[in-house]
């Protein structure tokens, strides 16, 4: 693979990018284009499949194979492709409406099966392409065009949902932090099965500033709880400690460093990652970022092909003539 010397430019398609000025999608696209050469995978073996929504225009801007599909259904289409073609690297690009509302079913089933997909969920907590209705991640009480008196819906926490769906890899990052985003992409692509990355993404038109607390220089250091394997989980001011069966965020000054939880994304117990996912409330005053969970589990596609190899190995390749003549037959002369 090392003889492939592709650059960011090689992964940039000739299409004019048409997101709104200032959209967080630009920085995610740019990070992705810059990251892909690092994989050492030929362009023709990479496929981006998206659903519908602003984020789902993403495949058009990458010079790989790509499909802009049906609202919510990208994980289903991508599953078929990834299972049939284990030689490919398949990304799913989706948003909070696409993945968690209309496509919720496909997302959880792709994750539980552990299909070899890298799913990037752009969470801007709003419907952008339909011009500003509340989404399944919008905070309760949100005033939007379709909720002038405030939304009554309790939002999903995408990370909690993914862990509940038996995901083997779940991470969170932020659109504007290119370094962290790239590290997270690196970890996700190194993972064998399904990987879900929630990317906090700003929509400057319909939900501007939704993530200011984790982006602004003066607040982000305190808000972002960094999850790094082997290191205590903490922000500049706060850390995570055990409280009974659960975890809680406390001021660093109130505890000894040794009491802080040392992160282990490979912890087989999903309740550990789940507890971490519950630390971010809807105000985002404390948001764990990094890899919540990264455990080894056989990928679905590889199991499918192992099963085929096993049966063909033990019984031989099917013989069509024998098949057609199966069961009770008789001759007419």
Partner 1 sequence: MSKPIVTLNSVVIRFAGDSGDGMQLTGDRFTMDTASLGNDLSTLPNYPAEIRAPQGTLLGVSSFQLHFADHHVRSPGDAPDVLVAMNPAALKANIKDMPRGSTIIVDKDEFTSRNLTKVGYDANPLEDGSLDSYKVHAVALTSMTVGALSELSLSRKEAERSKNMFALGILTWMFHRPTEATQKFLEAKFAKKPEILKANLLAYQSGWNYGETTEDFSTSYEIAPSKMQAGTYRNISGNTALALGLIAASEKSDLQLFLGSYPITPASDILHELSKQKKFNIITFQAEDEIAAVGAALGASYGGALGITTTSGPGIALKSEMIGLGVMLELPLIIVDVQRGGPSTGLPTKTEQSDLLQVMYGRNGESPAVVLAASTPSDCFEMAFEAVRIATTYRVPVFLLSDGYIANGSEPWRIPEVDSLPAISVEFAKTQENFQPYLRDPKTLARPWAIPGTPGIEHRIGGLEKADKTGGISYDPMNHDFMVRTRAAKIEGIEVPDLIVDDPSGDAQVLFLGWGSTYGPIATAVEGLRANGQKIAQAHLRYINPFPKNLGEVLNKYPKVLTPEMNLGQLAMLLRSKYMKDIVGYNMVRGLPFSTAELIEAAMGVLDV
Helices (H), 142-191: 158-164, 178-190
Residue 3 touches partner 1, criterion: CB under 8 A: no
Maximum alpha-carbon separation in the chain = 95
- What phi and psi values does residue 117 have, to the nearest 5 degrees? -125, 145
**Cβ at position 322, least distance to partner 1 in Å:** 10
Nearer to partner 1, 9 or 321 (CB): 321
In this complex, which beta carbon is closest to partner 1, that of residue 46 or of residue 187? 46
Q: Is 328 one of the binding residues for partner 1 (CB under 8 A)?
A: yes
Which residues lie closer than 8 Å to 195 by C-beta, 6 or more apart? 117, 118, 119, 168, 169, 170, 171, 187, 188, 189
Based on the shown chain and the rule CB under 8 A, indicate whether residue 318 belongs to the binding site for partner 1: yes
Q: Which is nearer to partner 1, 245 or 315 (CB)?
A: 315
Q: Would you list the DSSP string of 209-224?
A: TTTHHHHSHHHHHHHE
Within residues 58-97, the interface with partner 1 by CB under 8 A covers 59-60, 62-71, 73, 76-85, 87-88
Give the interface size with partner 1 as a residue count (CB under 8 A). 60
Does 101 help bind partner 1 (rule: CB under 8 A)? no
Kindly state whether residue 5 participates in binding partner 1, applying the rule CB under 8 A. no
Q: Which of residues 9-38 bind partner 1 (CB under 8 A)?
A: 13, 15
Residue ranges in 108-127 that form contacts with partner 1 under rule CB under 8 A: 109
Nearer to partner 1, 55 or 176 (CB): 55
Residue 323 Cα to chain centre, angstroms: 43
Q: Which is nearer to partner 1, 104 or 204 (CB)?
A: 104
Range 284-287 contact pairs with CB under 8 angstroms and sequence separation of 24 or more: 284/211, 284/213, 284/214, 284/223, 285/213, 285/223, 286/223, 286/225, 286/235, 286/238, 286/249, 287/172, 287/200, 287/213, 287/214, 287/223, 287/224, 287/225
**Distance in Å, CB of 54 to partner 1, minimum:** 14
Q: Please give the residue ranges that form the binding site for partner 1 (CB under 8 A).
A: 13, 15, 42-47, 49, 52, 59-60, 62-71, 73, 76-85, 87-88, 105-106, 109, 304, 307-308, 311-312, 315-318, 320-321, 323-333
């Amino acid at each position: 693979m090392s003889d492939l010397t592709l650059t960011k430019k090689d992964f940039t398609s000739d299409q004019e990018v048409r997101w709104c000025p200032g959209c967080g999608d630009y920085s995610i696209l740019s990070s992705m284009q810059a990251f892909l050469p690092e994989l050492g995978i030929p362009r023709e073996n990479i496929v981006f499949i998206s659903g519908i929504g602003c984020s789902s225009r993403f495949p058009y801007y990458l010079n790989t194979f790509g499909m802009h599909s049906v609202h919510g259904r990208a994980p289903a289409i991508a599953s078929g492709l990834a299972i049939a073609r284990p030689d490919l690297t398949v990304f799913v690009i989706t948003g909070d409406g696409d993945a968690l509302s209309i496509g919720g079913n496909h997302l959880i089933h792709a994750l539980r099966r552990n299909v070899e997909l890298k799913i990037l969920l752009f969470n801007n907590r709003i419907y952008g392409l339909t011009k500003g209705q509340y989404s399944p991640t919008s905070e309760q009480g949100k005033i939007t065009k379709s909720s002038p008196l405030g939304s009554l819906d309790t939002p999903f926490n995408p990370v909690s949902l993914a862990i509940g769906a038996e995901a083997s890899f779940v991470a969170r990052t932020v659109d504007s932090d290119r370094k962290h985003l790239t590290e997270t992409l690196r970890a996700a692509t190194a993972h064998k099965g399904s990987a879900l990355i929630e990317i906090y993404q700003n929509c400057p038109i319909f939900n501007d500033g939704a993530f200011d607390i984790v982006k602004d220089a003066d607040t982000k250091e305190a808000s972002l709880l960094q999850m790094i394997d082997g290191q205590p989980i903490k922000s500049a001011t706060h850390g995570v400690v055990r409280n009974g069966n659960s975890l809680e965020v406390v001021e660093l000054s109130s505890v000894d460093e040794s009491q802080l939880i040392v992160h282990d994304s490979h912890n087989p117990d999903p309740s550990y990652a789940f507890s971490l996912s519950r630390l971010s409330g809807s105000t985002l005053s404390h948001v764990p970022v990094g890899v919540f969970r990264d455990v080894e589990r056989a990928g679905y596609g590889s199991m499918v092909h192992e099963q085929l190899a096993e049966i063909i190995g033990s019984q031989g390749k099917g013989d069509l003539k024998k098949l057609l003549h199966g069961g009770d037959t008789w001759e007419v002369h």
